[in-house]
Structure 1
Amino acid sequence: MYGRSYDKVGFNLKFDKKFLNRKSFKLRPDSGDASKIRSKLCCDIANRIGLPSIQGTYARLYMNNEFWGLYVFMDSIKTSWIKQTFNPSEKEVTTLFQCKTGGFNFKSNSYNSCINANDDYPNMSEFSSFVYAANNARNISDLEKIMDVDIFLKYLTFEWLIGSSDHFMIYGHNFNWYKRESDGKWVVIYYDYDNTFGNGASYSLWANKGLNQDGTGANRGNQPIYYSFADWEPNIPILKKLVFDNKNRFKQIVYDVLVQGFNPNILNPHINEIKSFLSPYVREDFTAKNGSLPGRINKAGSRTSSSYSNFEYNIENSVKNWISKKFDVACSNY
């Protein structure tokens, strides 16, 4: 619902027949992202580091021959996406659960923050059993029996590095859990990446945290861009078992992510390519016709305050700056 608070709204698309081997998509205006590249860039990083991930590109939208502007064109994690990605033998996917509303952190009853993504199978018993088992796991070995720990740890690393305030650790939403048919283990899959690279990451989110789980944090400061992983995560109990009791394993995962995908030498040239490609379409999106910008139909919503100059500035001084400084923080800590 956050996205619908703006004057330019997004759309969920569902087709009866496959298009690009998929049936469900999202068209996102990402009105809160002045750079217009956060969602696309995060999808590219996740794919590059080997996570099961959605993909993203761009679209110029026309409806009834009227131009509606530039949108991010993304996968939607539905049962058809699961079938394409994991190729289960089952005809109906009944173990995909979406955590959308916020508050999921593996604590008791936090499974109520999620729903079965298959509307025909609303039963939550299998997911609640998973949450109960994870919450009561004694150590990482117990967790290995029920979830793909490496994927979860890599997503947590990814979440911290991209500076997301909108996924598991901060708000507990914008991800799915899927019970993989091949081995019965649960796999996490993130989505929605507009609040990343520091976008929306206010110090107030950590103002009342206290010390970190590893005893550090007394001098955390008020600039999240410089936070270590221990600073960033809000003392979620399961992360002690996963991360702080297994520092060497986590350190290796951080190293792998930095080498494979999150470093300025890899990302800056890619960002420049996206920026060059997007430039004329962003200009077009901020060019008024008959006194109105394209696609701004929600008159009750907040007016999109960005501009082409903000697009350029935000890429260079927000996104690239975050990557550079967070890379240095990660290298110095891990």
Structure 2
Amino acid sequence: MKISLVSTGLITIAIAFVHAADVTYSVIAFPGSDKVGVQVAGQDYPLQRSPMHANLFTGIAPFAAEYRYTILNSQGQAQPEETTRHLDNAATTTGNEFFGRSKTVYDIPALPRAYNPIYPALASDMDRDNEIATLILRANMDAIQEFLDTPTAEHNFAQVYNMTYINHHTVYNFENAGLKNAGQSSKDKGKQSYKVKFNKFDKSTKKDHLFGRRAFKLRAGATDPTLIREKLMMDSLSASGVATLNSHWVRLFINDEPFGLYLMTDDSFKGFTDNLIHGGEKMNSTGVTIKGNAMDQDTEANLVYNGPSAANYDHNDVYILEDKGRDPTISKENYMAPLIDFMDRLSKTVIGTDAQTPGTITDLMDSAEHTMIHAAMSFLAGSWDGFWYQASNYYLNQNRETKKWYLITYDFDETFGNGLEDIELMTTPYQNYQRPGSKRPLIDVFIKSPYYEPKFQEILKTLIKRFYNPRVIKPRLEAWTAMLKEDIAWDRSLPFRSPGDKEKFTVNDLNNALVTVGSRMGVLEWISNRTSSVCQQLNFNDTDDLPALPSA
């Protein structure tokens, strides 16, 4: 048998070239003391633990159009999984599968692009939408239990001795990362969200990364019955051509215990915006990144200028230093200075003039179109906890050479009608899309300008015609529902590990992606009503009669 060494990122694996009638079967399983096998044509073939991870089992067996994985007890008796799997005629390997799941890779309809990318993003598997990966951690459980028991307290990172990431075609192993619970209001939930930082417990100069990320978050989606909303919003922003965080779903296991289904997303690290804006290239021009947050309707990151002193701003809770970038002058003590300058210049921005006139928004934002698209998607998705309506959940990143800024929105579990108390927001015109009495100076530049407002309206029309309509999104939601249903049923069967809100959704709530269930609006229902109301208000239809996009 010929053996060839093939590199797959951080590891080197041996691939055996076998006869065409044989297939390499591979499955992730947690069998305890039992063994794992594959059942082909009624015959059981044992699989061996892979050197890449103890919970990955692999081996060679004959080809068959149908097969099942099995747990083999000490007497050699097979307990097969309920599903029957299917193999393509030309297949020589199954890829890495997961025991008890009927399928690994799904055909997910793509979202057509509304605009070509304004900035080059780092292309990687971080942005996958057609499979669920598996993340297996061996970690300090005593430290983890501390933040599970008291999630709202301040905690240090727990050491992750080994972390293995497995998707259909790749296995990555890491050591000495750090794990802790993450978020703000999400810490009040029974299912915690987490952040992971590579090399947190490694003092060497080694810098691990996964898909170009040196940190990532695991979003629990504790308020979303579907676990679909946030991923749909990120993919919509990507299809809109703007910089956005990337994401994909993962199953999380810690010390062989199941923790549930999560959405793995970007988290901040030095220069993390380089991945979103500069194609992953390290840029010395990357400056400070500030996170906008809202505590309540009177304490929000509305970008209203209140004078030159940082003492005039509740910056510890509202304008938060997320990352210093590569600006050596930035510190925790002075980071508000560039943002205050931003707000001062914004307050003096001339509304109603074209982009060539001095003192307009193009002197402040790197791209007016990029900012308008983020605003338009925030409005279309009803992101009531977001940048426009609540002045929250956005990043502002500065280019320290040009002194211009980039807007990137995030945190989308409460979109598409989820958690919405004011149902009228579904049909509210964009001119009234903010809380009564609130101020939105960055939004006003666009929607109150004779020059920019027609452009903003054209963006709304283009997004709706290209992809933001039930005709395009319904097939994507249906495909995701089929892909997620087994893992959501598994996730919903797991116990809550923290105090706090323990709203118990079921797999039946996944139907909420399409229709309203109880008091929670369906994703598709929101999109249908939002698009029809905008079409009526601006007097157009959602037919994609636009010319083809130019070559990027």
TM band (smaller chain): 0.7 to 0.9
Query: Superposition pairs for residues 286-325 of structure 1, below 5 Å?
Result: 286-287=492-493, 293-294=494-495, 296-298=496-498, 300-317=499-516, 318-325=522-529
* TM norm structure 2: 0.53
Q: Name 1:193's counterpart in structure 2.
A: 412
In structure 2, which of residues 286, 293, 305 is the aligned counterpart of residue 100 of structure 1? 293
Report the RMSD for the aligned CA atoms in angstroms. Answer: 2.1
Q: Does 1:173 align with 2:381?
A: no
Instruction: Please tell me the residue identity of whatever aligns with 2:473.
Output: L
Which residue type is aligned with residue 39 of structure 1? E
**Does residue 116 in structure 1 map to residue 307 in structure 2?**
no
In structure 2, distance between residues paired with 1:314 and 1:171? 24
1:243 paired with 2:426, answer no
Quote the offset at 1:7 in angstroms.
Answer: 0.6
8 Å CA contact 2:285, 2:401 repeated in 1? no
Distance in structure 2 (CA, Å) of the matches to 1:284 and 1:64: 18
Output the amino acid matched with 2:323.
Answer: N
State the distance in 1 between where 2:464 and 2:348 align: 32
> 1:85-234, aligned counterparts within 5 Å?
85-87=276-278, 90-91=283-284, 93-102=286-295, 103-109=300-306, 112=315, 113-118=318-323, 121-122=331-332, 123-139=335-351, 141=355, 142-147=360-365, 148-180=367-399, 183-203=402-422, 223-234=424-435
The DSSP-based 3-state class of the residue aligned with 2:195 is: strand
Change (3 A) 1:191 1:237: closer
Q: Give the direction of change, closer, same or farther, for the CA distance of 1:92–1:149 in structure 2 (3 Å limit).
A: closer
- Larger mean Cα displacement after TM superposition, 26-35 or 247-256: 247-256
Deviation at 1:315, TM superposition (A): 3.6
Question: Is the alpha carbon distance of 1:77 and 1:268 closer, same or farther for their aligned partners in structure 2, counting shifts above 3 Å?
Answer: farther
8 Å Cα contact 1:60/1:71 also seen in 2: yes
The CA deviation string for residues 116-152 of structure 1, in whole angstroms up to 9 with x for no partner, is: 2226732221121011101221226411211122111
Distance 1:297 1:309, change over 3 A: same
* Preserved CA contact (<8 Å) 2:226 2:513: yes
User: Does 2:467 correspond to 1:261?
Assistant: yes
Distance 2:314 2:537 in 1: 33
Match of 2:248 in 1: 57
CA deviation vs aligned residue, 1:162-184 (integer Å, no higher than 9, x gap): 01111122221111001236754
84-93 or 54-63, which moves further after superposition?
A: 84-93
Q: Residue type of the partner of 1:98?
A: K
Give the C-alpha shift of residue 91 in structure 1: 4.6
Determine helix, strand or coil for the equivalent of 1:97: strand
Q: Which moved more, 1:87-96 or 1:176-185?
A: 87-96
Distance 1:323 1:313, change over 3 A: same
Measure, in 1, the Cα distance between the counterparts of 2:198 and 2:440: 41
Q: Which amino acid aligns with 1:311?
A: L
TM-aligned CA distance change 1:111 to 1:94, over 3 Å: farther
Q: Secondary structure at the match of 2:408?
A: strand
Inter-partner Cα distance in structure 2 for 1:90 and 1:325: 42
Between stretches 78-87 and 152-161, larger displacement belongs to 78-87
Letter in 1 for 2:331: Y
One-letter amino acid of the structure 2 residue matched with residue 5 of structure 1: D
Aligned partner (choices 178, 182, 192) of residue 9 of structure 1: 192
Matched, 1:73 2:277: no
TM-score when normalising by structure 1: 0.86
* CA shift in 2, pair 1:77/1:135, >3 Å: farther
The residue aligned with 2:220 is: 29
Identity of aligned residues (%): 20
Equivalent position amino acid for 1:240 in 2: D
Q: SS where residue 22 of structure 1 aligns?
A: coil
Runs of 5+ consecutive residues of structure 1 not aligned to the other structure: 204-221, 288-292
Distance 2:398 2:466 in 1: 27
TM-aligned CA distance change 1:170 to 1:50, over 3 Å: same
User: Of the candidates 265, 275, 292, which is equivalent to residue 481 of structure 2?
Assistant: 275
Q: CA deviation at 1:200?
A: 2.3
Aligned pair in 2 of structure 1 residues 187, 136: CA closer, same or farther (>3 Å)? same
Whether the 8 Å CA contact 2:390–2:434 is kept in 1: the answer is no
Q: Tell me if structure 2 keeps the 8 A contact 1:161–1:326.
A: yes
Structure 2: where are the runs of 5+ without partners? Answer: 1-183, 200-207, 307-312, 325-329, 517-521, 539-552
- Following the alignment from structure 1 to structure 2, what is the Cα–Cα distance between the partners of residues 280 and 108? 50
Higher fraction of helix: 1
Amino acid at match of 2:209: K
Structure 1 Cα separation of the partners of residues 250 and 374 of structure 2 = 27
- 1: CA distance, partners of 2:502 / 2:321: 34
Distance 1:324 1:237 in 2: 27
8 Å contact from structure 2 (residues 251, 261) kept in 1: yes
Q: Pick 1 or 2: higher relative contact order, CA cutoff 8 A, min separation 6.
A: 1
235-244 or 96-105: bigger deviation: 235-244
